[in-house]
Amino acid sequence: MAVLETVLKAAAEAVSRASFLVIAAGAGMSADSGLPTFRGNEGFWTNYPSIRRLGLSFVECASPSHFRKDPHFGWAFYGHRYNLYKGATPHQGYQILRKWAALAKYGHCVFTSNVDGHFQKAGFDPSNVMECHGSIHYLQCLNECRADIWPVGELGINVDERMFRARDPLPVCPHCKGLARPNILMFGDHGWVSSRTDQQEGRLSEAVQAAETHSDCFKTVIEIGAGKAVPTVQWFSGSQLQYEHSKLIRINLDDTEAYEQGKTLYVPLKAVEALKRIDELVVNQA
In a domain, 220, yes or no: yes
**d(Cα 286, Cα 280) in Å, to the nearest integer?**
13
Q: How large is the C-alpha radius of gyration of the chain?
A: 20
Say which residues have a Cβ less than 8 Å from residue 117's Cβ, sequence separation at least 6: 85, 131, 135, 136, 137
In a domain, 179, yes or no: yes
Q: What CA–CA distances, in Å, run from 101 to 17, 30, 45, 56, 195? A: 12, 19, 37, 40, 26
**d(Cα 123, Cα 111) in Å, to the nearest integer?**
15
In a domain, 285, yes or no: no
In a domain, 246, yes or no: yes
State the pLDDT at residue 41: 58
In a domain, 138, yes or no: yes
CATH number at residue 143: 3.40.50.1220
Is 245 marked active-site?
A: no
Q: What is the pTM of this model?
A: 0.95
Low-confidence ranges of the chain (pLDDT < 50): 286
Evaluate whether 73 touches 165 at the Cβ level (below 8 Å).
Answer: yes
In a domain, 65, yes or no: yes
State the pLDDT at residue 130: 98
Evaluate whether 7 touches 259 at the Cβ level (below 8 Å).
Answer: yes
In a domain, 286, yes or no: no
**d(Cα 60, Cα 73) in Å, to the nearest integer?**
12
State the pLDDT at residue 180: 98
In a domain, 103, yes or no: yes
Domain of residue 272, residue span: 2-279
pLDDT by residue (tens digit) across 10-49? 999 999 999 999 999 999 999 899 887 776 555 666 777 7
Backbone angles phi, psi at 162, to 5 degrees: -70, -45
> What total of structural domains would you count in the chain?
1
Evaluate whether 10 touches 260 at the Cβ level (below 8 Å).
Answer: yes
State the pLDDT at residue 67: 97
- Helix/strand/coil for 3: helix
pLDDT by residue (tens digit) across 230-240? 899 999 999 99
**Which of 133, 175, 214, 245 is labelled catalytic?**
133
State the pLDDT at residue 56: 84
